Amino acid sequence: MKSAGGFSTGKIRPFSGPVGGITNKLKTVNKMEIPQLGFATYCLKPAVAEEAVSFALQCGYRHFDCASVYGNQYEVGKALRKGAKSYGRENIFISSKLWATDQHPDHVEGACRDTLRELGLDYLDLYYIHWPSCWRRRASSPVDLFPVTAEGLPDVDETVTLLDTYKAVCGLIDKGLIRGIGLCHCDLAQVQSVVGQVPGDAHHPAVCQLELHPALPTPPVVEYLSEEGILPAALCPLRELGTTPFVTNDVIAGLSRLTGYSTERLVLNWNLDNVRITLAGSPQKEHIKQNAKAALFTMEDSVRAILKLYHEKGGVAHRPSICPSGFPRKGECIF
């Protein structure tokens, strides 16, 4: 029998048994229920965003991940509001993100209200702090979203800590603007710096988004997230950040050929199988439909074992945090 990337496989059946499907939900420490498979909107240009989100709703998605810096919230919001009329706002989980230039405590509430205005919503289910450092806001019009120093590095406002921003976001819960708080791109020390610093389960981090896929060794922060009841969320699960999709990866592409299932289906199922929120998006209807099917079945043990071995071997070298020492792939990627 052929092998995937050198691993002997025998006869492979890739998936078995229906599980919760696209409606499967994970509970947060503050009693929220989040659909495990979410639709990411970072890849949607404004011209196609409304149609793509509307189709995702038709395919069963009930979790949508947005951000002000994506530049498409107005169009995304139009589709979500229509969806809320059909399916009920309470049945659609909507998150957005606070961009780095808005992370000074003085700017947090205004930025959140701007996002709510763009999306046309009364509240967000979850509001992420998009980066673990505050970037200095320049007096320019429009606001420079990627301010740099003379050395070409992000212009970080060292007077503002992640905890300062976090406390300001907690205030949005108290005002009814958001229902939970999330973190993005944080390492272990950064998550530890906010956990337990603001009393009450409602103010506990609910989710932390980071790069998670079979080709990357699991960052140390993931175990800590589990210990603290914080759900890990896999952003960009279909490719390594800033690189080509897994269709070009020898091991995963080989496994795809052996099983007859797409690389996208395999790597999405890997994160779902590991009980993580998984965020995947596309402007193409066929991709949206196929990704939605990924949640329908759990993995067979043989496929799980191959991906586990590959993952533990470390498909790519572990990368240090990409923030704040550099822009997200020099502006190529703003997850």
Annotated binding-site positions for substrate: 130
Closest C-alpha to 241, from 206, 279, 270, 207: 279
Helix axes 162-174, 105-119, angle to 10 degrees: 50
Question: Are the CB atoms for 177 and 183 separated by under 8 Å?
Answer: no
Q: Coil, helix or strand for 5? A: coil
- Angle (CA) 62-68-71 rounded to 5° is 95
Q: How far apart are CA 14 and CA 300, in angstroms?
A: 5
Residue 3's DSSP bridge partners are 8
Closest C-alpha to 328, from 216, 222, 209: 209
Question: Are the CB atoms for 64 and 329 separated by under 8 Å?
Answer: no
Q: Is residue 70 annotated as a catalytic residue, yes or no?
A: yes
Q: Coil, helix or strand for 264? A: helix
Known binding positions: 130
Question: Which one of 42, 61, 70, 166 is the catalytic residue?
Answer: 70
Residue 229 burial (C-beta neighbours within 10 Å; 0-12, 13-18, 19+): middle
What φ, ψ does residue 95 adopt, rounded to 5°? Answer: -120, 155
Q: Which two tokens stand for residue 121?
A: 């919503």
Residue whose token pair is 């949640």: 295
Does an H or E element contain 68, and which? none
Question: Are the CB atoms for 34 and 23 separated by under 8 Å?
Answer: no
CB neighbourhood size of 114 (10 A): 14
N-to-C CA span, the chain: 40
User: How many residues would you count in the chain?
Assistant: 335
Strands 63-65 and 37-40: parallel
The residues that are catalytic are 70
